[in-house]
Amino acid sequence: MRSALAEATRLLTNITPTPRLDAELLMAHALGTTRDDLLLRHLDAATPAGFPALLQRRLAHEPVAYITGTRAFWTIDLEVGPGALIPRPDSETLLEAALEHFARRTPRTILDLGTGPGTLLLAALDQWPDAEGLGIDASEPALVYARRNAERLGLAPRAAFRLGDWTGGLAGQFDLILANPPYIGTREALPREVRDHEPASALFAGADGLDDYRRIVPALPGLLAPGGCALLEIGWTQAEAVCALAAQHGLATQLYRDLGDRPRAVRLT
């Protein structure tokens, strides 16, 4: 496997910024084990028969997460596939901000708008065992993944999922509202693996990428419980526009940066 990984890394260099990592994840998947186990125990074994086919799929720009069917996020592993947005490390910024806000108490009720495969809601429920939550998404295929993930993680008794259009039809108040809405402008360029494989409805939001914020933010004052907060993921150029929109609706804001030191989340209270 050492030589196969080296060759795969070479071939993937022009496809991905993480060629060695991608090769190792695909090899581990072909072997039916974890990447750590692969690196510790199997590098001198024969290359699994299924590895070349997996490599060819990656060379055709298919996302690794769709090939392996899983993606790690926060403290959990999520099943993902076509029709569901792949969780990104940048989105963990919202969980870090939530931990700061709820340092002295537990958010008992959590709402995840645009939940996808359950990414933010299930990570939050894993973080706070006494919480319960609701995930909303306009995509039934994404909700299939979300419900399966909740069952597999043992979180189904505390997680409900509903087909919906952002805040439409919602009643009640929530301690924590999380949202990673589409925020890419329709004319913005994207890598092939994103543009050609992930659902456009989870990526694009009008010419300036702000269409869905204009629908979500006005509803937040009526959905936030006293002392609660909403955390919205944003594109790194959108902080000023989203904060201005929040101010129009009487919401105070605080900005949080991701690991690359780019504006990535806005807390609204």
**Tokens found for residue 186:** 């329709």
Integer Cα distance of 91 and 73 in angstroms: 9
pLDDT (0 to 100) of residue 132: 98
pLDDT (0 to 100) of residue 186: 93
pLDDT (0 to 100) of residue 53: 98
- Amino acid identity of residue 180, one-letter, is N
CATH fold of 82-268: Rossmann fold (3.40.50)
The CATH number of 2-60, from 3.30.160, 3.40.720, 1.10.8, 3.40.50, is: 1.10.8
Q: What is the pLDDT along the chain (269 residues), one digit of tens a residue?
A: 999 999 999 999 999 999 999 999 999 999 999 999 999 999 999 999 999 999 999 999 999 999 999 999 999 999 999 999 999 999 999 999 999 999 999 999 999 999 999 999 999 999 999 999 999 999 999 999 999 999 999 999 999 999 999 999 999 999 999 999 999 999 999 999 999 999 999 999 999 999 999 999 999 999 999 999 999 999 999 999 999 999 999 999 999 999 999 999 999 99
* Torsions phi, psi for 80 (to 5 deg): -135, 165
What contacts 13, CB < 8 A, 6 or more positions away? Answer: 19
pLDDT (0 to 100) of residue 18: 97
Integer Cα distance of 196 and 193 in angstroms: 6
251 phi-psi bin (left φ>0, alpha ψ -120 to 50, beta other)? beta
One fold for both 2-60 and 82-268? no
pLDDT (0 to 100) of residue 184: 96
Domain ranges of the chain: 2-60, 82-268
- Is residue 87 within 8 A of residue 71, CB to CB? The reply is yes
CA dist 177 to 29, 167, 269, Å?
35, 11, 10
pLDDT (0 to 100) of residue 252: 98
- Is residue 28 within 8 A of residue 47, CB to CB? The reply is no
pLDDT (0 to 100) of residue 80: 97
pTM of the model: 0.94
**Dihedral in degrees, nearest 10, Cα atoms 11, 12, 13, 14:** 100
- Is residue 191 within 8 A of residue 63, CB to CB? The reply is no
Distance of CA 31 to the CA centre of its chain: 26
pLDDT (0 to 100) of residue 16: 97
pLDDT (0 to 100) of residue 223: 98
pLDDT (0 to 100) of residue 69: 97
Half-sphere exposure of 37 (CA within 13 A, CB side): 8
Integer Cα distance of 132 and 261 in angstroms: 31
